[in-house]
Amino acid sequence: MTESNRLLLSGDEAVALAAFHAGVALGAGYPGTPSTEILEHFAELGGHAQWSPNEKVALEVAIGGAFAGARSIATMKHVGLNVAADPLFTVAYTGVTSALVVISADDPGLASSQNEQDNRRYAVAAGVPMVEPADSQEAYDLFFAAVELSERWQVPVLYRMTTRVCHAKTLVTPREPVKDAPKANYVKDVPGRVMIPAYARPAHSKLRKKLAEIAAWNETCALNHFIPGDRKLGIITSGISCVHAREAAPEAGFLKLSVTYPLPVEKIRQFVQGVDRCVVIEEGDPYLAESIRAEGIKVEAKPEMFRFGELNVNRVRRILANDTSPEPQAKPGKPPQLCEGCSHRVVFDTLRDLGCIVTGDIGCYTLGVLAPFSAIDTCVCMGASLGVGLGMRHTLPPEQARRVVSVIGDSTFMHSGITGLLEMVYNPPPTGHVLIILDNSTTAMTGHQEHPGTGRNLLHEPAHKVKFEDLAKAMGLKRVVVVDPRPGNPEVKKVITESLASDELTLIVARRPCILIAPQIREWERCSVACDKAEA
Ligand SMILES: Cc1ncc(C[n+]2csc(CCOP(=O)(O)OP(=O)(O)O)c2C)c(N)n1
Ligand code: SF4
């Protein structure tokens, strides 16, 4: 490759390019910062990419592809893997025919998430090998390694990225696209694919044998390498932490790990024996330090205070100096706000004025918690607004219960609100309940992605549109009201007030497109009408 082949790419773009070059036939995912751009970029390159209603479905779709013999990826943010954990744990047992790479983008420091869970723990818990890139070139190169690993041992691979790796742009030299990616072809393998206990027991033993073989392979695998330095200080690290650590301590010797589960224990032992002091530098949980210490190898872990938030060069210097003095506090920035003219504002103004107890959910509308609305009382995870609201309705005294309202966005409802609605019609509280779907015809928070309720697919082309009203009525809900939350519309207050006074179950669909995407939606709709006419 020549200089001119070099591309300036984010880690998300690099992994998308690698997937395209590696002959990935199917990409499924659900949007979530910092992972969203992977699938969008894969689609722009011409890859077959689709948004699923949620991460569990996305992973299942990708599993189907990999069972069928086609290289497949599932993309999601870290909390998405909680939703997809059920299939993940069992596909580790079944194994795959062609590569299945599960890309999980973690968010240490909670730039845009409700928690900072460290998904490296999932690799251990599910028993799937894990690969961790440190920059865009590695995001590109290691993807091919993940595909090889997955196909050699016929196991799914967890490709663990983090915010800085996903979003920072660095140079990438791509390779020639593969020409011999496996072609999908169904081969029946009932004991290998049907996890009834009789087949799952041997499948579990088989998985453990594969992991032992991968651990042995990892001892000599070139993807984990030594960077020579002064023997006074050795650093074991992986991912973005390596970039910070090399800048903070250029004189040190390094063991940089790329395949971080199962760990190359003997390689680590050999490295530690060759240095006077060995410190593990890692973001998030002390996953590496705990795993290494569990093998009886003496390493220093970072002090607990560095478990929170992202690392940077300065923080790594502090870890190496064992400096636990209080860190300078960043000046609080301007709090985020709903856009001027956002239709969510009208609903939250009303809920506040009516003194409602609001169980909220995740999306732009979570900002209804802040002043001037101060209208959200709870927010746990995607879809939780319904269950939490129902639990309150069941237990609070009637005068309080009648004030409880669940509020959920349209994309979030498709993701994990539908089962909450089933719960509502199946176990109705004595005072009824009020559910408001804020239907702005997009997944606004993550950058305006489509979902099954918009009537458009990932490429914004026409697709089947699921109507919330029809779905709710089909589930047995009798009281379904649609209202336009435009500023000044008195109907919003009237509808919510009437619904609260009734002991019936009510769905209110507050429908108005997000103002930032409305012109674009009109354009997509105009194009699709024009296409229909041209085809007629
Ligand atoms: C399990 C999980 N997956 C993905 C996300 C990222 N995410 C947060 S809110 C959201 C959807 C927001 O869309 P919508 O409900 O339509 O509300 P809007 O932002 O449009 O107001 C997504 C995808 C998440 N927080 N949790
Ligand atoms: S992006 Fe759309 S939904 Fe989000 S705050 Fe702005 S107007 Fe509201």
Show the domains of the chain with their CATH numbers.
Answer: 3-219 (3.40.50.970), 225-320 (3.40.50.920), 343-535 (3.40.50.970)
Whether 361 has a pLDDT exceeding 70, the answer reads yes
Percent share of the chain, pLDDT over 90: 94
Backbone angles phi, psi at 158, to 5 degrees: -90, 120
Beta-ladder partners of 479: 506
Averaged over 106-113, what is the pLDDT? 91
CA–CA separation, 249 and 258 (whole Å): 20
Cβ atoms of residues 411 and 451 within 8 Å: yes
**The amino acid at 322:** N
Give the count of alpha carbons within 13 A of 448, CB side only.
Answer: 11
Whether 481 has a pLDDT exceeding 50, the answer reads yes
Mark out the alpha helices in 284-407 (DSSP H runs).
287-294, 313-320, 343-353, 384-395, 398-401
Whether 393 has a pLDDT exceeding 80, the answer reads yes
Averaged over 375-398, what is the pLDDT? 98
* Ligand that comes closest to the CA of residue 520: 2
Scanning the structure block, which residue is given the tokens 């224990």?
265
CA–CA separation, 62 and 58 (whole Å): 6
Picking from 16-25, 129-138, 218-227, 332-341, which range would have the lowest pLDDT averaged per residue?
332-341
Ligand 1 interacting residues, C-beta cut-off 6 A: 30-32, 77, 79-80, 83, 114, 362-365, 382, 409-412, 438, 440, 442-446
- Per residue in 291-321, pLDDT tens? 999 999 999 999 999 999 999 999 999 999 9
Whether 470 has a pLDDT exceeding 70, the answer reads yes
Pocket test for ligand 2, best of 514, 517, 520, 521 (most atoms within 8 A of CB): 514
- Per residue in 200-209, pLDDT tens? 999 999 999 9
Whether 527 has a pLDDT exceeding 70, the answer reads yes
pLDDT band for 536, please (50, 70, 90 cuts).
Answer: low
Q: Which residues are CB-contacts of 476 (< 8 A; sequence separation ≥ 6)?
A: 425
3-state SS string for 408-446: EEHHHHHHHHHHHHHHHHHCCCCCCEEEEEEECCCECCC
| Global confidence as pTM | 0.97
Mark out the alpha helices in 54-196 (DSSP H runs).
55-67, 78-83, 85-94, 120-126, 136-153, 163-167, 190-193
What is each CA distance from 440 to 405, 409, 488, in whole angstroms? 19, 8, 17
Pocket test for ligand 2, best of 337, 338, 347, 373 (most atoms within 8 A of CB): 338
- Name the residue at shortest CA distance from atom 5 of ligand 2: 338
Whether 329 has a pLDDT exceeding 80, the answer reads yes
CA–CA separation, 283 and 286 (whole Å): 8
Whether 531 has a pLDDT exceeding 90, the answer reads no
Cα 448 to ligand 2 centre (Å):
9
Whether 2 has a pLDDT exceeding 60, the answer reads no
Picking from 71-80, 107-116, 273-282, 340-349, which range would have the lowest pLDDT averaged per residue?
107-116
User: Residue 225's pLDDT is what?
Assistant: 95
Ligand 2 interacting residues, C-beta cut-off 6 A: 338-339, 342, 344, 364, 440, 444, 514-516
User: Residue 1's pLDDT is what?
Assistant: 46
More confident residue, 11 or 529: 11
User: Residue 3's pLDDT is what?
Assistant: 54
Cβ atoms of residues 289 and 282 within 8 Å: yes
Q: Measured from the CA of 338, which atom of ligand 2 is nearest? A: 5
Helices 85-94 and 55-67, packing angle to 10 deg: 20
Backbone angles phi, psi at 205, to 5 degrees: -60, -40
- Name the residue at shortest CA distance from atom 15 of ligand 1: 409
Averaged over 211-227, what is the pLDDT? 97
Cβ atoms of residues 165 and 134 within 8 Å: yes
Q: Rounded mean pLDDT of the chain?
A: 96
* Ligand that comes closest to the CA of residue 338: 2
Q: Measured from the CA of 341, which atom of ligand 2 is nearest? A: 7
For 252, the 3-state DSSP assignment is strand
